Amino acid sequence: MSEMYGWTGKILRVDLTNRKITEEDTKKYSDRFIGGSGISQKVMWDEVPPEVKAFDPENRIVFTPGVLTGTPSPSSGRTDIMGKSPHTYPKEVCTKSGIGGDWGTELKRAGYDGVIVQGKADAPVYLWIKDGEADIRDAKFIWGLDTYATQTELKRNLNDSQYKMLAMGPAGENLVRYACVMSGTGHAAGQGGFGAVMGSKNLKALAVRGTGGVGVARPEEVLELLEYVKTLATSLGATPKSMLWVDKEIDPHDVHRIPYRYRSTAPGNPGAMNFLATHYVKQTACASCPVGDYVYCKHPLGGSDIHCMQWYYAFLSGWMDDVAYEVKLLHDKWGINVYELLYMIPWLQKLNRDGVINSKDSGIDFDKWPGRDFIVPLLDSITYRKGFGDTLAEGVPRAAEKLGVLDSLLTEEARAGAGYGGHGMSAHYDPRDYAVSALLWAMDDRDPYHDKHSHIALVHWSGLDLDEQKVVAEYAYYSGEAAQAMGDSKYSSAEALAAILDQDRASTKSALGLCDYVYPIICSPLEERKYIGDTSVESKLFSAVTGIDVTEADMLKAGERISNLQRAVMIRDGRRRKDDTIPDYFFEQPAAWGSPPLDRDKWEQMKDEYYRLRGWDIQTGIPTKAKMEELGLGDVYEQIA
């Protein structure tokens, strides 16, 4: 094989049923689909037909870092996890999750660009990988342990604390449909239920150790780009205008070391800041990230990385203290996706008020909200499928269907902090606020905000006024009309194009292994640049790492190819235009904070424009033959035609 840079050149295939491990040439996938989610989508297309269910042995679960992962490329530590999902509703469809930290970097250093797992082991196992070797090993001694204890015991058993782990907890073992995959103490692949997919295969963990390196074609150029990105990159497009400071009661020495995303919560939740002032130790980051969006807290219950997404439960209840921290730990240890609880709890409280369920029959002590005696028994019943928890372990929409109250899930009254957005998942960022958000929700196969924060980062997080946003939007989305005030969508062609650009750029950065909180850099903190970022960084990094020179347009075209392959998988699974929608209440009721309901007629017209710009059939939503051939996907089109 000729020398490759960025890629290691090998992908592991693990057949658990036959206890067989083989290696495949990365080039089988990388020439057209690069890496990360690009490779995973191709595996789904080739190997997981529509009739396969999430918990069938024939399902695949694919773990793929990006081509830049394992190199010094800034914020390139992401790994995609993909398969047929038990979490999605009303159908189990192919979708993905993602995880940060350093597992993907370790896999690349061990010599592999990905791991494809199929089949089902006849007893609990874990996958051991070290420096070009792999083995399927007995996991009975860690079955039943939580994710923290699993990783600790594996490291002890392997006599090496440097192993990096992916693990599922008791929720995954018990096939809770929204069970997550954990790495370390704070990194989670939450949405999608892939902890349960691992559980269905009797796969407890993946332990990886790599002492090698990942080849880089032009290392000096990569280091120059690293320094350049440091001048531009912030978390979620923050500018000086969005870096809020807390009141003077908190020690400034502590406050100024805390990332701005945590400082900015102070006006709405001062308890969170008091907690941080007591327990905060340091800011941490995923592999190769110069930004850092994690904090490390040392607490009597145990030190832990706390990512902002795992704080939302505390925000929902309006408090942050030792109990809330314990709740966060339980989610992570037992392997439960916190987002499911964000809209499950308000929905359960509504059902209790309406007399549909009560404390005696459900085992949920509603009078104890928001304390420990409410949440811990609830999480325990779900994790171990006890009593009413067995119903809730199916996920909110399936539980609502079983209870005969699915309609109540779709009312604004049931919504507090997060509601049902479709695809079986919680809706953070209300689609009524921005038409771009509504399109992203409707067109995806899951909650879109795992890798498509760019537009919301500009219009919602940046702190820029509307005129300043329009200047950035003119650069990043080719039209100032892509920016608008919250609740003031124009349903324009510019907004349709912005959704497409967010999708294709997301496909690119997932293939590269780049973090959604940093890329694309559409917005910068520099006033002298008029807060404009640089969306060409991805192509420059790819060129420097691989030695394959590409332009920004080339990279965007690669993202478009992956996005259309994803659409082809969805089409094969039965997806059509009628399915590209969101729950009715977004069209019928205003948001509690004032955004008006979406205009259905204008919404459908904007969808027409979206399909036209995509090169998809407007009536069906199926990509046209001309578009697929333009993208080098003629072979794929022949199968969906």
Determine how β-strand 20-25 pairs with β-strand 10-15. Answer: antiparallel
In this prediction, residue 473 has a pLDDT band, given cuts at 50, 70 and 90, of very high
Amino acid 249: pLDDT: 40
DSSP string, 566-600: HHHHHHHTT--GGGS---THHHHS--TTSPPPP-H
Residue 131 backbone dihedrals phi, psi, to 5 degrees: 45, 60
Residue 614 backbone dihedrals phi, psi, to 5 degrees: -75, -25
Please give the C-alpha separations between residue 262 and each of 180, 256, 257, 310, in angstroms, as whole numbers.
24, 11, 10, 12
pTM: 0.94
In this prediction, residue 239 has a pLDDT band, given cuts at 50, 70 and 90, of low
Burial 172-182 (b: 16+ CB within 10 A, else e): bbbbbbbbbbb
CATH architecture, domain 429-640: Orthogonal Bundle (1.10)
Residue 607 predicted with pLDDT over 60: yes
Q: Rounded to an integer, what distance in angstroms lies between the CA atom of residue 162 and that of residue 274?
A: 34
Residue 553 predicted with pLDDT over 60: yes
Instruction: Write the DSSP symbol of residue 528.
Output: G
Query: What residue ranges of the chain are covered by domains with CATH 1.10.599.10?
Result: 429-640
Q: Rounded to an integer, what distance in angstroms lies between the CA atom of residue 93 and that of residue 354?
A: 33
Residue 439 makes CB contacts below 8 A (sequence gap 6+) with 495, 496, 499, 606, 607, 610
| pLDDT digit string, tens, across residues 143-188 | 999 999 999 999 999 999 999 999 999 999 999 999 999 999 888 9
Amino acid 34: pLDDT: 97
Residue 444 predicted with pLDDT over 90: yes
| pLDDT digit string, tens, across residues 254-294 | 444 444 444 444 445 556 666 666 777 776 778 888 877 66
Amino acid 257: pLDDT: 43
Amino acid 285: pLDDT: 77
Amino acid 213: pLDDT: 93
Amino acid 499: pLDDT: 98
Amino acid 283: pLDDT: 67
Q: 266 or 232, which is more confident?
A: 232
Q: Which residues pair with 283 in a beta bridge?
A: 295
Q: Which residues pair with 64 in a beta bridge?
A: 80
Ramachandran category for residue 479: left, alpha or beta (phi over 0 → left; psi -120 to 50 → alpha): beta
| pLDDT digit string, tens, across residues 341-384 | 888 988 899 899 999 999 999 999 999 988 889 999 999 999 99
Three-state secondary structure readout of 123-161: CCEEEEEECCEEEEEECCCCCCCCHHHHHHHHHHHHCCC
CA 375 to chain centre: 24
- Of 37, 136, 29, the residue nearest 81 (C-alpha): 37
Tokens 């189990």 sit on residue = 92
Tokens 């495949």 sit on residue = 24
Structure tokens belonging to residue 488: 């003031």
Three-state secondary structure readout of 416-429: CCCEEEECCEEECC
| pLDDT digit string, tens, across residues 507-518 | 999 999 999 989
| pLDDT digit string, tens, across residues 1-33 | 458 999 999 999 999 999 999 999 999 999 999
What's the whole-number mean pLDDT along residues 85-101? 96
Amino acid 313: pLDDT: 59
Please give the C-alpha separations between residue 124 and each of 175, 198, 200, 290, in angstroms, as whole numbers.
14, 10, 10, 38
What's the whole-number mean pLDDT along residues 531-535? 95
Amino acid 237: pLDDT: 61
Asked if residue 300 has a cis previous peptide bond (ω within 30° of 0), the answer is no
What's the whole-number mean pLDDT along residues 619-624? 97
In this prediction, residue 565 has a pLDDT band, given cuts at 50, 70 and 90, of very high
**Count of positions (residues) in the chain:** 641
| pLDDT digit string, tens, across residues 382-431 | 999 999 999 999 999 999 999 999 877 777 655 555 678 899 998 878 89
Ramachandran category for residue 547: left, alpha or beta (phi over 0 → left; psi -120 to 50 → alpha): left
Residue-averaged pLDDT of the chain: 89
| pLDDT digit string, tens, across residues 310-322 | 455 565 666 667 7
Structure tokens belonging to residue 44: 């789904």
What's the whole-number mean pLDDT along residues 546-575? 98
Query: What residue ranges of the chain are covered by domains with CATH 3.60.9.10?
Result: 10-209
Residue 309 predicted with pLDDT over 60: no
Q: Rounded to an integer, what distance in angstroms lies between the CA atom of residue 335 and that of residue 218?
A: 40
Superfamily of 10-209 according to CATH: Aldehyde ferredoxin oxidoreductase, N-terminal domain (3.60.9.10)
Amino acid 260: pLDDT: 45
DSSP string, 424-446: TEEE-S-TTT-HHHHHHHHHSSS
In this prediction, residue 248 has a pLDDT band, given cuts at 50, 70 and 90, of very low
Residue 55 predicted with pLDDT over 70: yes
In the chain, the amino acid numbered 286 is C
Q: Are 21 and 124 in contact (CB under 8 A)?
A: no
